[in-house]
Structure 1
Amino acid sequence: MNSQKAKKKAEMDLAAEKPLVEMPKSKIVFYFSIVWLLYFIDFVARFGVNPLYPLMQKELALSDPQVGLLGSVVLFGMAIFVLPLSYVADRWSRSKLVSLMALVWSACSIASGLARSFPMLLVARCGLGVGEASFAPTATSLITSWFKRSQWARVLGFFNSGASLGIFVGSVFSGYMAVTYGWRAALILMGIPGIILGLLALLIPDVKAQQKAQSGSEKEVKLSVGSAARVVAKNKSMLLIVLFYGLYNMAIISMIVWMPMYFTRVMEMDVPKAATLAGLTAILGVVGYPLGGYFSDLLVKKDLRFRMWLPSVMAIIVAFLFAAGFYMKNIPIIFAASFLCTFVNPSLNASSQELVPSWYRSVSLGVIIFGMQFIGMLGPYTIGVLSKNFGLLNAMVYMQIALIVCFLGFLYIGTIYRQDCQRAQEEEAAAKL
């Protein structure tokens, strides 16, 4: 009996080491480059607006809560549409959906620059969130189909580096563009590259068609909303990750959105300098995301529970560093916190691919991102309200309470994570018999 179990485990481990689809390395590099560049442009368009808030606030007479709402409404659009679009990705075509989403968010970035009132700007930013809603889960499911499981966290860490570079380039570009040409021109120009790359994404082949051609099998797992919901609902680890990743995102997104305003208002910097510093805090993720993914994969080889325990340790360290940095107005400490906070995402994103069979990977990360955005959208607006009542400095410090809660949450998930991953592997193996 023990030998049969050992043989079964060995077969499952071997299957997990094979990519879902096999292609020449040159093609993988080309397709990966397209989705990486799109993720980069995604974050240029999403966060390049942050340094523009002081100028927008002055021209449109916006209050702090209204500024916070402009950041939150993007996450609202993402939260509402991430699950339906992730389901469409698994049922339809992941590559075509990636292309469509890029075209939508790019058009809405241009519309943001043309908006003449707060309501028009609010609708345009919400539309941008809708366009970006399922890009990350859909792109992640494409990427994990091209690489072996033991490489996932590292590859996804490098993929996430596009987000950090996008925040940096978007912040610096928009800050200097706004001073020279105005904030409207900056938003319009940020929408153009996504249209070009969105059309280029149509060259990426469909994963399901490739998998069927390579396996020579006509057998296909039938997907339904009900089956997807059942897979998620019975997975305790995933449900808790949705909650605590959401809290984590609420805190980190709040820091990103309000960082330029913190530098201009609390530390009395001009807009270009504040934009550059805010961008530099983000670019640290170009190293932090891949490094976090590397450590995650390295630790998981020793014990799968480290997929959750690494984020737990990072959350508590980052909470105290951010609180100290903001309170002391110490830029090096703020930079240290901004660097270490990027260690968390590769582990949590990889977990979404480990906790479910391969045909639910887009839906799985979609569910997690739903929690990230639905809970996360409360962050920027909450900072705005706290800032109005207690001042921006105190608001930034108070938000770190969410990270302390995440430390405890991820610590607990680690104790049940291994069993839930094993269940997903067994379900996939059984479906292939």
Structure 2
Amino acid sequence: MSKAKSAGALVAFMWFAYFLNYCDRQAVFSMFPSLKADLGMTDKQLGLTGAIFLWVYAVGCPIAGQLADRFSKRLLVVLSLIVWSLVTVATGFAGSAFMLLGLRAAMGISESLFMPTAIALTANAHPPELRSRAIAVLTTAQIAGTVTGSWFGGWMADHGQWRGAFFVLGAVGLLYALPYFAFLRGVNENPTTETATPSKTLAFPILLRVRTFLLLCVVFPVFVFGLWLLYGWLPTFLKEKFALNQADAAFNATIFLQLTTAIGLLGGGMLADRLYRRTKASRLWLMTASLILCAPCLHFLGSSDTLTVTRIAAAFFGLFSGLLMGNIFPAAFEVVPADTRASAVGILNFCGAIMSGFAALFGGMWKQSLGIDRLLSFTALAYLAAGIALIMGIKRLFPRDFAAIRLARHHEQRGGLGGATVGSSRQDSGQ
């Protein structure tokens, strides 16, 4: 099999695993009314179903990233799939709010092993000029999983079978683990175009010295706060505001948002790779545009008086958010060493998931007082501030960090002989 076909097959196998990842984690958010009725959960406890998962997931991601940079990535992604599928099945047996929240924490641990490893494997299989589109294609699984998991969970809950939803989703994951592992046994884990001998030292101190990466660790949580506020509470918000049933609320909360996100992801990935030939900061510029354009969409999502306008705002938010979702990790890979990629994804996920947990929790705590609509408007202002911060980072931080990593890779490939190319590396760092 050629390298191109092998890389494509890897993305395809990773895609379905990532799809199941999001189906299993998202199904619960369209079941809130049923969980209230059957388990007696309060709004705060419902918010904690997202918060606890995300906080545990956040802690696990940097650890998983470090493990993936030093040990077998193939084994880690399969192990993660098996464990989170077992936890999903167990969630169907939950008899109390306490048990359900405990299982959400267990899911956070098991799923944290997957994403840093999967993103690093995908990046290693593709050269820089194809990396954004490859990761964008993989990330569409997140969209498909969110739509499918939310709709399926809501549909099963409407039929009094919310437990059965978890049994079905978990069983599919366990069955898929067999062909998944069989394929990954033949996959090369190392980068195809860069030298990347696994480091024997911790990646964290190295990454924390890269200022552009630190900026991304601030900007990314702002973005995912808004994302998870919608993921966690938009179905309930629409159900109560427009008197929809659970399945219809879940459908309206996901289909318009997620379908256009797929377009933004794929278009943003291809555009970033095309613009990369002209400016190495192309991914950062598209992320800036994403934040600034998403801000008014967030406001109208909460403040519109009709379902039609809400759908339009959700569609445009999805389109613009895809520009950031497909480029955040490839942008980080431009300024961090190749042997720290999984750790970089892990740290970014840590920062994002911590803030995402607060989005889920605040939605439950402030739904009656502040309201989801106002919380969305305040988040829109934070998006504008993050966009401005990225512009400053592109101008002041990125050129030096990009030149430094390019020079380091050149020395590693040439055995330390290549000082004459320093100038060209600096030219490549142009904005």
Q: TM-score, normalised by structure 2?
A: 0.89
Partner of 1:375: 355
**1:46 corresponds to 2:25:** yes
Q: By how many angstroms is 1:244 displaced?
A: 1.1
Which residue does 2:406 correspond to in 1? 425
Report the counterpart of residue 274 of structure 1 in structure 2.
249
1:237 alignment counterpart: 212
Match of 1:76 among 55, 58, 62: 55
Question: Deviations along 1:108-149, whole A, 9 cap, x unmatched?
Answer: 111222111111101111111111113222111111121121
Structure 2 contact 301–373 (Cα < 8 Å) conserved: no
Match of 1:327 in 2: 303
Distance 1:305 1:122, change over 3 A: same
Superposition deviation, residue 165 in structure 1: 0.8
Superposition deviation, residue 23 in structure 1 = 4.7
Asked whether 1:392 is paired with 2:372, we answer yes
Deviations 1:378-399 (A, max 9, x none): 1111122221322333333333
**Distance change >3 Å, CA 282–CA 57, structure 1 → 2:** farther
Structure 1 unaligned regions, length at least 5: 1-21
Confirm or deny: 8 A CA contact 2:213 2:335 kept in the other structure: yes
Shift of 1:150: 0.0
Amino acid at match of 2:286: L
Deviation, structure 1 residue 232: 0.7
**Which residue identity lines up with residue 65 of structure 1 in the other structure?**
K
Letter in 2 for 1:134: L
User: Does 2:330 match 1:350?
Assistant: yes
Q: Aligned partner of 1:403: which letter?
A: Y
Residue 222 (1) aligns with residue 199 (2):
yes
Q: Deviations over 1:33-83 (max 9, x none)?
A: 111101111111111221111211222222222111111111112111111
Aligned-partner Cα distance in 2 for 1:176–1:359: 44
Q: Distance in 1 between matches of 2:4 and 2:120?
A: 18
Q: For 1:114, what is the secondary structure of its paired residue? A: coil
Query: Counterparts of 1:108 and 1:127 in 2: how far apart (Å)?
Result: 7
Helix, strand or coil for the counterpart of 2:57?
helix
Equivalences for 1:138-149 in 2 at 5 Å? 138-149=117-128
Describe the shift of the 1:352–1:148 C-alpha distance in structure 2 as closer, same or farther (beyond 3 A): same
1:221 Cα deviation from its structure 2 partner: 4.5
**Compared CA separation, residues 230 and 393, structure 1 to 2 (3 A):** closer
User: How do 1:85-234 residues align onto structure 2 when only pairs under 5 Å count?
Assistant: 85-203=64-182, 204-205=184-185, 220-225=197-202, 228-234=203-209
**1:400-424 superposed Cα distances (whole Å, 9 cap, x missing partner):** 2332222122222212223212211
Q: The residue matched to 2:31 in structure 1 has which SS?
A: helix
Give the SS at the match of 2:242: coil
1:253 is aligned with what amino acid? W
Report the AA paired with residue 35 of structure 1: M
- What is the distance in 2 between the residues matched to 1:320 and 1:209? 42
% identity of equivalent residues: 20
CA distance in 2, matches of 1:231, 1:207: 28
Deviation of 1:200 after TM superposition, in Å, equals: 2.8
Instruction: Give the alignment partner of residue 253 of structure 1, picking from 224, 228, 236.
Output: 228
Is the contact made by 1:296 and 1:306 (CA closer than 8 Å) also made in structure 2?
yes
Distance 1:410 1:345 in 2: 15
- Map of 2:283 onto structure 1: 307
8 A Cα contact 1:175 1:275, kept in partner: yes
How far 1:336 moved relative to its partner? Answer: 1.6
Secondary structure, counterpart of 2:249 in structure 1: helix
Report the Cα distance in structure 2 between the residues aligned to 1:57 and 1:283, rounded to whole angstroms.
29
For 2:49, give the aligned amino acid.
Answer: L
Q: Any idea what SS the aligned residue of 1:390 has?
A: coil
Deviations along 1:5-40, one digit per CA (max 9) or x if unpaired, are xxxxxxxxxxxxxxxxx9544333332211110111
* One-letter identity of the residue aligned with 2:380: Q
Cα offset, 1:359, TM superposition? 1.3
One-letter amino acid of the structure 1 residue matched with residue 98 of structure 2:
P
Aligned position for 1:30: 9
**Secondary structure of 1:106's partner?**
helix
Distance 1:55 1:395 in 2: 25
Task: Identify unmatched segments of 5+ residues in structure 2.
Answer: 416-431
- Structure 2 residue identity aligned to 1:385: M
Q: Which moved more, 1:392-401 or 1:280-289?
A: 392-401
Paired position in structure 1 for 2:38 = 59
Distance 1:371 1:207, change over 3 A: farther
Quote the offset at 1:201 in angstroms: 2.9
Which amino acid in 1 is paired with 2:201? S
Q: Conserved in 2, the CA contact under 8 Å of 1:352 and 1:368?
A: no
Q: Is the 8 A contact 2:119 2:342 kept in 1?
A: yes
Q: Distance in 2 between matches of 1:309 and 1:209?
A: 30
Compared with structure 1, are the counterparts of its residues 126 and 23 closer, same or farther at alpha carbon in structure 2 (3 Å cutoff)? Answer: farther
Are residues 347 and 31 of structure 1, via their aligned partners in 2, closer, same or farther at CA, if it must alter by over 3 Å?
closer
Superposed CA offset, 1:75-118 (max 9, x none): 11211111111111111100110001111111111122211111
Cα 1:62–1:231 shift into 2, 3 Å: same
